[in-house]
Every structure is written in structure tokens, then in C-alpha cells.
Chain A
Amino acid sequence: MSNIRVPTALRAYTEGQIEVPTKATTVGGALQELADRYPGLAPHLFGSEGQLRPYVNLFVNDQDVRTLAGVQTPLAEGDKLMILPSVAGG
């Protein structure tokens, strides 16, 4: 089991959950599981054709998945997947 860490800005869509456990074995699988569980979140993560929006920043244990295997990056027991928004405000 690994955990998806949800940023403050998205917690309105996850019933306030900060961490959501997942059994998925890849980053993409975990995001799909999250979107299935919280359908209101799906359009923020995925485009109309189901592709992950390119500006969604994803980190596994502090490493940007763009430097790993993208959505194919494997998730192991105890891993933390973070979804990070862009910096807002001034």
C-alpha cells in the first residue's frame, strides 16, 4: 500500500482527505484510482481524452516523475505520491 498526498487546493474534492491510500502499482494507476473514487477531481487531472494534463506536477518520494518513468513510474509499499499545484499569488 502507498499513499497519495493531496494538496490543500484539491482537498475540497477528496472530502478533506490529506492522504489517500492506494493499492495501485504505478503512478498512472494511482491517479486513475483516485479519480474513480473522487469523480469531481478527474477533470482537474485528466483532459477530455483521458490524458494526464501536462502541467500536473507529480513527485514520488520527492522525485519528479518526469525524471523517472512518468505515469509508468512504479509505486512500492510505503511510497508517497504527491500532486503539486503551481505556485499561486505574488
Chain B
Amino acid sequence: MIGASQLLERRGLIDQVGNTPLIRLEHVTSHLSDAVQVFGKAEWHNPSGSVKDRAAAEILRQALEAGAIRDGRTLLDSSSGNMGIAYATLGAALRIPIRLVVPGTINPVSKQLLQALGVELEISDPLEGSDGARQVAAELAAQHPDRYFYADQYSNPANWQAHYRTTGPEIVRDTQARLTHFVAGLGTTGTFTGAGRWIKEQVPGASIVAFQPNSPLNGLEGLKHLPTSRIPEIFDPTLPDEILEITTEQAHAMARRLAREEGLLVGASAAAAAVAALIVAERLESGTVVAVFPDSGLKYLDESFWRGP
């Protein structure tokens, strides 16, 4: 039996998480002042292809150090896709079994990836969405406390702490503390809360801007419309200087532009981040705007919006 300390010592893949590049948007920004720069943090460079590797790695690290995953215990959580893929990828490398509850609306490619990675999947009622999946996971955890470590990414402080420890410091380092605006979407709110908190502390003059879909019915996978959702416990409502609302149509149009004008094939949530970053940048005479781009567009290629003009 391998102990927790031995697992952490040999955590090869987990050490590859983070240190993703900042990519400057060159063409969709051509209408802006020359003194305004907009960057996307390309989180698809993480091992499992999304920003969620950061939270998954920190949740696993803290659980291993606390002895919460031991004696063959399984990590249990709910996910809309990317967090599950991150758990599955890093869990496989650490030989930790993963069980996930995912809503029936999960993207088919994400589901295939989870199955390929050997995860035990439970599908929850599609009408109840990700909050329903979370409820099912909580019930499973309560029924079998000895079988599962229930990670609960929405309330687990390791989620935002991952971004406070890595994403925020990377952005401050890579912009040489010159960023004026930080932009991130609200899903579990871990990225926004953790990185935003670090940036606020290190660059007090920077504005911390969140965005969410403008409607509960939207095509921005991974983002939450907070007014109609269960608010994640880790969300810090005092942190945002502003919360923008982005439409799915804006994000889909931007996804096509980023692919065709910048060579960046990103998912709809990253495209929405670019829309939000441009809204902020268009108000500036000078400044440096950094937005987090959670994943690439590869999982979503069968969506019809790519065929638009």
C-alpha cells in the first residue's frame, strides 16, 4: 500500500499543472488605443486541458496531506465536465479512484473522456442541472462516509486557494504587476475568488471584474447564472468591483473571431471571457487587461455555432 507522503513525492503529472502562458490578443483588439493590451491566460495548456486542473490538484494535495484519501477510499464529487476530467486525469496518475455525479446534459465528448479515463459515472436528472448533481453527490457521501472522500468543489476552500497560490501569482509575475484589470467568469467561482483575492492584495489598484451569463438558459458551459443558482459557498461577494452579464450570442460570435482572427480555438466560456475583457478594455485609454480562458474549443466542435459567419 502506498502512503500519502509517497504519493505526493512521486506526483509527476500534478507538477505539470499551472504556469500557463498569457497570450496577447492582437487583432480583435485593433480598434483599441495602442496603450491598451488584452491578454488571455491559456488554461488549456494544463495536463487535462482546462483550468480545473489547478483546483483538482490542490484538492487532491490537501486531501492526501490530511489523510482524507486512504485505504482505497474513492474521491467523490459532482462536475459539469472539466473538473471531472481533471480529477480523472490526476487521480489516474496518483492511483486514486474517482466517482463522479454529472448532469444528464453533460457534453458528450466530456462524457467519453471520463469513460476513457476509467471514472465511475453516475448521471443525474438533466432538469436539475449541476445543482442537482451536487445534491446527489452529497447524498451518496452521507450514505457511505467510509467509502468516499467527498471533495465538494463548491465549498472546498482548496478550490479558491489553488488560484490564490498559482493563478494569481502567475498573472502578477507575467505582467510584472502592471495589470490594471483582472477578468474571470463565475462557475464554482474558485478562479475568480482565489486569483482575484491575490491580485487585489498584490496590485491594489487593479479592478477585479467578474462575468456571468445574462440568462439561466444559455450556452456558456461551465458558467453559472448566480441569480438562479445555488451560490457556491466559496464565492466572496465583496470581491468583484463589477459583474458583467454576457450573452451566449456574443460569446459564440467571439469564439469564431478568436479562431479565425487570432488562431485561438477556445470554448464558449473563454470566448465569453474575451467579450468581457473587451468591454472593459474599450473604456480605457491605457491599461492591461488579463482574462482567464478556461479551456479550448476541441470538446465543443460539434456545436452549430462554429458554422456561423
Tell me which of A10, A56, A84, A88 contacts B222 (CB under 8 A): A88
Contacts of A88 in B (CB 8 A): 80, 129-130, 187, 221-225, 229
Contact partners of A82 in chain B: CB under 8 A: 126-127
Give the contacting residue for B105; candidates A10, A45, A54, A85; CB below 8 A. Answer: A85
**Residue from the list B130, B153, B188, B248 in contact with A87, Cβ < 8 A:** B130
If A86-B221, A87-B81, A90-B83 touch, whether A55 touches B248 (CB-CB below 8 Å) is yes
Given A84-B126, A86-B219, residue A57 in contact with residue B131 (CB < 8 A): no
User: In this complex, what residue of B is CB-closest to A11?
Assistant: B228
Instruction: Tell me which of A10, A18, A47 contacts B217 (CB under 8 A).
Output: A10
B75 → A minimal CB distance (Å): 14
User: Are B218 and A87 in contact, CB atoms less than 8 angstroms apart?
Assistant: no
Nearest-CB distance from A4 to chain B (Å)? 11
Q: Is there an interface contact between B129 and A90, defined as CB atoms closer than 8 Å?
A: no
A26–chain B nearest beta-carbon distance, Å = 20
Q: Which of B79, B83, B216, B252 contacts A85 (CB 8 A)?
A: B216
A84-B305 CB under 8 A given contacts A5-B127, A8-B128, A9-B229: no
- Interface residues in A, total, Cβ within 8 A: 26
Within 8 A of A (CB), among B241-276: 248-249, 252
Size of the B side of the interface (Cβ < 8 Å), in residues, is 47
Query: Could you say which of A54, A87, A88, A89 has the most chain B C-beta atoms within 10 Å of its C-beta?
Result: A89
- B136 to chain A minimum Cβ distance, whole angstroms, is 13
**Does A44 make an interface contact (CB < 8 A)?**
yes
Contacts of B79 in A (CB 8 A): 89-90
Q: A7-B128, A7-B129, A9-B229 in contact; A87/B190 too (CB < 8 A)?
A: no
Across chains A and B, the number of contacting residue pairs, with CB separation under 8 Å, is 109
Q: Which A residues, 1 to 24, have Cβ-Cβ distances below 8 Å to chain B?
A: 5-10, 12, 18
Cβ contact within 8 Å between A7 and B127: yes
* CB neighbours of B215 from chain A (8 A): 43-44
Q: Does B304 have its Cβ within 8 Å of any Cβ on chain A? A: yes
Q: How far is the CA of A44 from the CA of B248 in the complex (A)?
A: 11
Interface presence of B199 (CB below 8 A): no
Most buried by A among B126, B159, B216: B216
Complex contact A87–B222 (CB within 8 A) = yes
Residue of A at shortest CB range from B219?
A55
Chain A residues within an 8 Å CB radius of B131: 8, 89
Asked if B106 is at the interface (CB within 8 A of a chain A CB), the reply is: yes
A89-B187 CB under 8 A given contacts A45-B217, A55-B248: yes
Contact B103 A87 (CB under 8 A): yes
Q: Is B220 an interface residue (CB 8 A)?
A: yes
- Is B154 at the interface (CB under 8 A from chain A)? yes
Alpha-carbon separation in the docked complex, A83 to B154 (Å) = 25
Mask, A23-61, CB within 8 Å of B = 1, is 000000000000000000001110100000111110000
Decide if B82 is an interface residue (CB 8 Å cutoff): yes
Query: At the interface, yes or no: B55 with Cβ under 8 Å from chain A?
Result: yes
- Asked whether A57 lies within 8 Å of B105 as measured between CB atoms, the reply is yes
- A interface residues with partner B (beta carbon < 8 Å): 5-10, 12, 18, 43-45, 47, 53-57, 82-90
**A-B complex: 6 closest residue pairs judged by Cβ atoms:** A55-B219, A87-B80, A9-B216, A89-B130, A90-B83, A90-B188
User: What are 16 A-B residue pairs whose CB atoms fall within 8 Å in the complex?
Assistant: A7-B129, A8-B132, A12-B228, A18-B127, A44-B215, A55-B248, A85-B218, A87-B80, A87-B106, A87-B130, A88-B187, A88-B221, A89-B222, A89-B229, A90-B187, A90-B190
